Chains A and B, each alone.
Chain A
Amino acid sequence: MRAKVLVATYPQVDDLLRAVRQARRETFRVYDVFAPFPVHGLDDAMGIRHTRLPKITLIAGLTGLACALLLQFYTNVLDWPLNVGGKPDNTTLAFIPISFELTVLFGGLATVAAFFLRTKLYPGKQAWLVTPGVTDDVFALVLRKPSDEESERRARALLTEHGAASVTESEADL
C-alpha cells in the first residue's frame, strides 16, 4: 500500500531532533527519519521500541551449543568411540572449545540474517531514496500526511519552523 507523506529535509541534526520531538508531541505520525549515520537520541525521539534481535541471538546461540555438544557426543560416544590416549569416550571438557565456537557462529550468523529479514534488505535490492543525499549529508524527516487540510498546514508550519530546508510531498510504501 502506498501512502502520502511529507518529506522535510534538514541540514542540521539538532533541528531534526527538535522537529521530531515536536511532531510527536503534536501527535503527527512519524513515518521514518533518514540519515547518513545513526543519530543519537532519535530512538527516544521517534519512540522506537527495543528490537527483539538479541533474543534471536540467544536462541540461535543455544541451538549452536546444543548442536555442537550433540555432534561431539554422538561421534565420540555413540557412533564410533575411539580410544585416544586412554581417555574416556565422553570427555566433555574437551568438547567445550568447539561448543563455544559453534555457539558464537550460530548466534552471530542468525542475528545478522534476522536483521536482514526484518529490515527487508537483500543483495541487489533497488534502494528507495526519499530524497537525494540522505546517504551523504541530508537528514530527512518523513511524516505521514494528515488527512485534513488544517492539520496538514500545521504540520508544514512545524517542519519549517524547525529549520527545514525544504518540505515536499511524496509517496511511500507502508
Chain B
Amino acid sequence: MDKLPDGVMEPRWIAGAPTLKQVTDDIARPMEGKPGKLWYALFAVAVLCLIDLLVMATWLIANGIGVWGLNNSVGWAFDITNFVFWIGIGHAGTLISAILLLFRQKWRTSINRSAEAMTIFAVMCAGLFPLLHMGRPWDAFFIFPYAPNQHGPLWVNFRSPLVWDVFAISTYFTISLVFWFLGLIPDLATLRDRATTKIKKWVLGVFSFGWNGSHRTWARYEVVSLVLAGLATPLVLSVHSIVSMDFATSLVPGWHTTIFPPYFVAGAIYSGFGMVLTLLILTRQSMNLQRYITIKHLDAMAKVLLLTGSIVSYAYATEFFAAWYGGNLYEKYHFINRATGPYAFGFYLMVLCNVLAPQLFWWKRIRTSVGALFVVSILVNIGMWFERFIIIVVGLHRSFLPSSWGMFYPTLIDFGILIGSFGLFFTLFLLFIRFMPMIAIWEVKGVVTDQAGHAGDAGASHAG
C-alpha cells in the first residue's frame, strides 16, 4: 500500500469498524429478508412503466415508426436522444469500476457493483432505441457483417459511424457484463456457503464456478481485473467518442465539430454520475446501507459531478465561441437559433441543470446533504437528456435550406417509450438490489481490513 504523508489519514470509507462477518451479514441481509415498503412502492411504479414500454413498443412495431413525431426535417429525435442518454448513463459504471480501480481509489468499493449493474441495464435500454427505430426489429441482424448475405448490399458499410457504433456498443456490453460477472463470483460463493435453501445453494453453486477463496486463484484474479480495467478504460472513452461521431462526421451545423468526442465523453460521465447518485441514494435508503454507502461516498461523487459538469459547461461555451469566431453562417445561425429559437426553453433548462446546478457543489453543506444531492442528481439527468435533445433536434429542424425547415413535436408514443425505458431500467435495477449483492462484499472486506490496520499504525506512531 502506498504510504500517505505524515499526519494525513486515509479517509475511513466504511463507518465504524465492522468485523468481516458483519460485512457479510449486512450486505447479504437485504437478499435474505424481505425488502421494505419503499422498495415495493418503487418496484410497482417501475413495473407499470415497463408494461407501458411493452404496449408502446408493440404499437410502434405494428404501425411503423410514423407513430413517432418524426418528419422529413427531423428524422432523428427522441429515439436517438434516448439512445445517447442511456449510453451516457452507462459510462459512470465503467468509470467507477475500471478507471477508479486503476487510480486505486478505495471509495469505489462500496459503489462499483451497483454502478456496473447500472451500466449493463443502461446499455440494454440504449440498445432498444436503434432496434425500435429500425421499424422491423426482426431484421436487426442486418447491422452485423454476416455471411452468406441474402438481403440488400453484400456487406455493411464499414465507413459509417453507425456501423462503428454496432461494434462499439456490443463490445462495451460484452466486456461490461464479463467484468461485472467476474467481480460477482467471489460474492456468489460467499452467498452459496450461507444459503439455507437447496434451490438457492444450487443456483449460486452453478454461478459461483466452484470458487473456494484460494489465494493462488485470487492472485490471478486481481491481475485479470486489472487487465480488464485497463481494456475497459480506453473502451469506454472510445464508445462515447464513436457515439459522438454519429453526429460529428455529418455536415449538419451544430454537429460537424471536432470538439464532440471529448465533450460527449465528459457529458456521459457527468450524466452517469448523476444517475449513480440517484440510484445509490435510493439504494441506501431502501436497503439501510448507510454504513457502507456513506456521506463521504456521496460527497466524492458530488465532486466528480462538479468537475465533469464544469467541463461540460466549458464545452458549451467553446461551441458558442467557435460558432462566432469560425464565421460559418450556418453554424452561427444554429447557435443563435439554439438560444432564441422555438426550442430555446430546452436550451435554458439544459444550462440551468448542467451549468448552474452542479456549481452548488462548491459548498460542502450541499455535497453532504442527501436531500440536496438527490434533487441535483435528478436535475443532472434532466439536463443531460435535454442536452442531447437540443443537439439533435435543433441541428436538424433548421438545417441549410429554409425550405426544408420544420418542427418536431413529440407524440404520446414518443413520451410513452421514453418513460417505458425508465421502467425497464428501474425494474432490472430494483431486482438486482433485491437478489444480488449490490455491494462488493469481498472488496469491502479488503477496505475494512486496511482501515483496521491503519488505525493500528496511527495509534503506534502517536505512542512513539
**Residues of chain A at the chain B interface (Cβ within 8 Å):** 13-14, 32-40, 42-43, 46, 48, 51, 53-54, 57, 61, 71-72, 75-76, 79-80, 82, 84, 87, 91, 94-95, 97-98, 100-102, 104-105, 107-109, 111-112, 115-116, 118-130, 132-137
Given the contacts A35-B215, A115-B224, A94 and B158 also touching, CB distance less than 8 Å: yes
Q: In the complex, given contacts A119-B221, A129-B212, A136-B20, what are 10 additional A-B residue pairs having Cβ atoms less than 8 angstroms apart?
A: A36-B442, A39-B449, A53-B220, A108-B231, A111-B227, A115-B224, A124-B205, A124-B210, A126-B205, A136-B193
**B84 within 8 Å of A by Cβ?**
no
| Total A-B residue contacts, Cβ distance less than 8 Å | 201
Q: How far is the CB of A165 from chain B (nearest CB, A)?
A: 14
Q: Given A53-B223, A118-B220, does the pair A104, B212 have CB atoms closer than 8 Å? A: no
Q: A36-B442, A97-B167, A105-B174 are in contact. Are A125 and B210 (CB under 8 A)?
A: yes
Residues of B within 8 A of A46 (CB): 215-216
Q: Is B254 an interface residue (CB 8 A)?
A: no
B445 at the interface (CB under 8 A from A): yes
Q: In the bound complex, how far is the Cα of B192 from the Cα of A134, in angstroms?
A: 12
Contact of B167 among A51, A79, A101 (CB under 8 A): A101
Given known A72-B158, A112-B224, A112-B228, contact A127–B175 (CB-CB < 8 A): no
Stretch from B7-15, B44-52, B182-190, B394-402 forming part of the interface with A: B182-190
Point out the residues of chain A lying under 8 angstroms from B216, CB to CB: 32, 46, 48, 119
Q: Mark B1-44, 1 if CB is under 8 A from A, else 0.
A: 10000000000000000011100100000000000000000000
Q: Are B189 and A112 in contact (CB under 8 A)?
A: no
Alpha-carbon separation in the docked complex, A46 to B190 (Å):
24
B215 x A135 contact (CB < 8 A):
no
In the assembly, what is the distance between CA of A14 and CA of B227, in Å?
Answer: 28
Tell me whether B150 is interfacial, beta carbon within 8 Å.
no
Interface assignment of B137: CB less than 8 Å from any CB of chain A: no
- B192 cross-chain contacts in A, Cβ below 8 A: 127, 135
- In the complex the two chains form, is A97's CB within 8 Å of B164's CB? yes
Q: List B contacts of A129 (CB < 8 A).
A: 193, 212-213
Q: How many residues of B contact A (CB 8 A)?
A: 66
Residues of A within 8 A of B157 (CB): 82, 84
Pick the contact of A75: B145, B194, B222 (CB < 8 A): B145
- Whether A38 pairs with B168 at a CB distance below 8 angstroms is no
Main secondary structure, interface of B, reads helix
Query: Which listed residue (A35, A38, A87) contacts B159, Cβ 8 A?
Result: A87
How many whole Å from B123's CB to the nearest CB in chain A? 14
Let me know if B242 and A104 touch, CB within 8 A. no
Of A37, A80, A123, which is within 8 A of B442 by CB? A37
Pair B212/A36 contact, Cβ less than 8 Å = no
Which residues 161-211 of B have a CB within 8 angstroms of A? 161, 163-164, 167-168, 171, 174-175, 178-179, 182, 185-186, 189-190, 192-194, 205-211
B403 near A: Cβ within 8 Å? no
- B59 at interface (Cβ–Cβ under 8 A)? no
The answer to whether B443 and A37 touch across the interface, beta carbons within 8 angstroms, is: yes
Report yes or no: B209 in contact with A125, Cβ–Cβ below 8 A. yes
| Separation of A130 and B245 alpha carbons in the complex (Å) | 53
Query: 3 shortest A-B CB distances, which residue pairs?
Result: A125-B210, A137-B20, A121-B209
